[in-house]
């Protein structure tokens, strides 16, 4: 099936007139072949972030080459730390290094556990990766507010590009006013590397939303676009229930690397 994200005319993913205020981490570089092939076809998602599913075969991966990521020493430390945390939580070790190790850890978890267990284990891994005292302090100092939502958006673009790829802050309307509370991920590194809708939904989207809400007190809705592999993180917006979430009604790519079924039947 093909997914089309329906967007308002005002200016993505399953994921203009957005202010073009880039906060992409300066050390991130993408190859010219990759950057030129990114599909920029969607912008502000509608309030209900609905994906229209049309008849046809399952999604095909975008015809783009893998991004050229030149990880810094900080990036490599962060990637290794998260990978080790996932491996410790699942009990499934691997001998790979760098981002490949993280992808292997996630893929092994998807093949060994059911969807609900996958989400539970990733939350445990995130709790291992981030010190609870620091998270509790942030939660106390930054209660739900316009400042907190915009702070989390900026912080994500600056310090988590190693995980999701280059991203930028964009605006949306919340409580009747415009705020810079959206992180637009140009092309998700994790989805690009795993090439699997199920891994995106169960080992990234849902656990991240739950962890951020429970640990930091901040609602966030992650809206992936499985056509161009972009994504938006909307801080201050509650995600839909799993049964209503378009991401869980989406079949996987024909060339899915994990070959792991999720809520919607994948091609064999």
Percent over 90 (pLDDT), the chain:
63
Q: Identify whether the C-beta of residue 194 lies closer than 8 Å to the C-beta of residue 258.
A: yes
Rounded Cα gap, residues 178 and 172, in angstroms: 6
Rounded Cα gap, residues 214 and 220, in angstroms: 11
Pick from 147, 119, 79, 102: which is nearest to 214 by CA? 119
**For residue 185, what are the β-bridge partners?**
167, 231
Mean pLDDT of the chain: 78
- Tell me: the pLDDT tens digits for 33-47? 444 443 333 333 444
**To 10 degrees, what angle do helices 98-112 and 73-90 make?**
20
Cα 161 to its chain centre, rounded Å, is 11
- Tell me: the pLDDT tens digits for 68-124? 688 999 999 999 999 999 999 999 999 999 999 999 999 999 999 999 999 999 999
Which pLDDT score is estimated for 103? 96
Rounded Cα gap, residues 19 and 105, in angstroms: 37
- Tell me: the pLDDT tens digits for 97-112? 999 999 999 999 999 9
Rounded Cα gap, residues 261 and 267, in angstroms: 9
Which pLDDT score is estimated for 66? 53
Which pLDDT score is estimated for 258? 62
**To 10 degrees, what angle do helices 98-112 and 115-129 make?**
140
- E strand segments, the chain: 2-5, 51-54, 167-174, 177-185, 220-225, 230-235
The token duo for 161 is 């590009």
Rounded Cα gap, residues 154 and 168, in angstroms: 8
- Tell me: the pLDDT tens digits for 183-214? 999 999 999 999 999 999 999 999 999 999 99
Q: Identify whether the C-beta of residue 39 lies closer than 8 Å to the C-beta of residue 93.
A: no
**Hey, what long-range contacts does 52-56 have (CB within 8 A, 24 or more apart)?**
52/3, 52/4, 52/5, 52/6, 53/1, 53/2, 53/3, 53/246, 53/249, 53/250, 54/1, 54/2, 54/3, 54/4, 55/1, 56/1, 56/2
Which pLDDT score is estimated for 266? 52
Confidence of residue 251 (pLDDT cuts 50, 70, 90): confident
3-state secondary structure of 76: helix
pLDDT, greater one: 131 or 253: 131
In the predicted structure, residue 57 carries a pLDDT above the cut 70? no
In the predicted structure, residue 142 carries a pLDDT above the cut 50? yes
In the predicted structure, residue 135 carries a pLDDT above the cut 60? yes
Angle at CA 107, nearest 5°, toward 152 and 59? 80
Percent over 70 (pLDDT), the chain:
70
- Single pTM value for the model: 0.71
- Tell me: the pLDDT tens digits for 170-184? 999 988 899 999 999
């Amino acid at each position: 099936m093909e997914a089309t994200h329906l967007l308002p005319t005002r200016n993505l993913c399953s994921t203009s007139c957005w202010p073009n205020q880039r906060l992409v981490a300066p050390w991130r570089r993408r190859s010219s072949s990759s950057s030129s092939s990114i599909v920029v076809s969607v912008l502000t998602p509608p309030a209900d972030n609905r994906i229209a599913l049309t008849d046809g075969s399952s999604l095909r991966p975008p015809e783009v080459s893998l991004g050229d990521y030149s990880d810094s020493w900080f990036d490599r430390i962060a990637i290794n730390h998260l990978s080790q945390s996932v491996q410790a939580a699942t009990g499934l070790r691997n001998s790979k290094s760098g981002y490949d190790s993280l992808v292997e850890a996630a893929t092994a978890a998807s093949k060994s556990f059911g969807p609900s267990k996958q989400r539970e284990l990733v939350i445990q891994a995130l709790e291992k990766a981030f010190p609870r005292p620091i998270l509790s302090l942030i939660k106390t100092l930054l209660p739900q507010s316009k400042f907190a939502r915009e702070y989390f958006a900026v912080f994500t673009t600056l310090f988590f590009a190693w995980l999701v790829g280059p991203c930028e802050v964009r605006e949306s309307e919340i409580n009747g006013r415009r705020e810079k509370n959206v992180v637009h991920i140009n092309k998700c590194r994790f989805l690009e590397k795993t090439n699997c809708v199920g891994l995106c939904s169960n080992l990234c989207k849902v656990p991240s939303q739950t962890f951020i809400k429970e640990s930091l007190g901040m609602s966030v809705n992650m809206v992936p676009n499985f056509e161009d592999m972009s994504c938006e993180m909307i801080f201050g917006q509650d995600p839909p229930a799993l049964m209503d979430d378009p991401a869980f009604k989406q079949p996987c790519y024909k060339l899915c690397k994990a070959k792991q079924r999720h809520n919607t039947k994948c091609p064999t």
